[in-house]
């Protein structure tokens, strides 16, 4: 199973970016999909998560600005980031809870990380 993230970049404060992540490989079912971020020396923290039923949960710091969505048929998760702030600068990672087959248990898979830089 591989997760391929894309969409990071440099944007001015107040601007928008959209991150996308696609899962591929042998996949029977995907449960939660989400986005995390991590700054150097810090722990990885949750940004937003979405269940396979479409329920969402957000970090307090991004509520009202970020929107997570998914396409179950395409096995993708997207993070629309609006009203970006300099403190949103981080490396963003997508994650998926994947069951590869009926005989496999759930396991977390991570994307490679994409840099988001917000300038003042």
Is the per-residue pLDDT at 69 higher than 90?
yes
Q: What is the pLDDT of residues 7-64, one digit of tens each?
A: 999 999 999 999 999 999 999 999 999 999 998 899 999 999 999 999 999 999 999 9
The length of the chain in residues reads 120
Q: Confidence band (pLDDT; 50, 70, 90) for 102?
A: confident
Is the per-residue pLDDT at 104 higher than 90?
no
3-state secondary structure (DSSP) of residue 11: strand
Closest CA to 25 of 72, 70, 71, 75: 75
């Amino acid at each position: 199973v591989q997760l391929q993230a894309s969409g990071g970049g440099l944007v001015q404060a107040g601007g928008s970016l959209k991150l996308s992540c696609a899962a591929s490989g042998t996949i029977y079912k995907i449960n939660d999909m989400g986005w995390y971020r991590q700054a150097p020396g810090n722990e990885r923290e949750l940004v937003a998560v979405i269940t396979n039923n479409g329920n969402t949960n957000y970090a307090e710091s991004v509520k009202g600005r970020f929107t997570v969505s998914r396409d179950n048929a395409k096995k993708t998760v997207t993070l629309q980031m609006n009203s970006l702030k300099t403190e949103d600068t981080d490396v963003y990672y997508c994650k998926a809870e994947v069951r590869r087959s009926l005989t496999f248990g759930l396991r977390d898979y991570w994307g490679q990380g994409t840099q988001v830089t917000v300038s003042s």
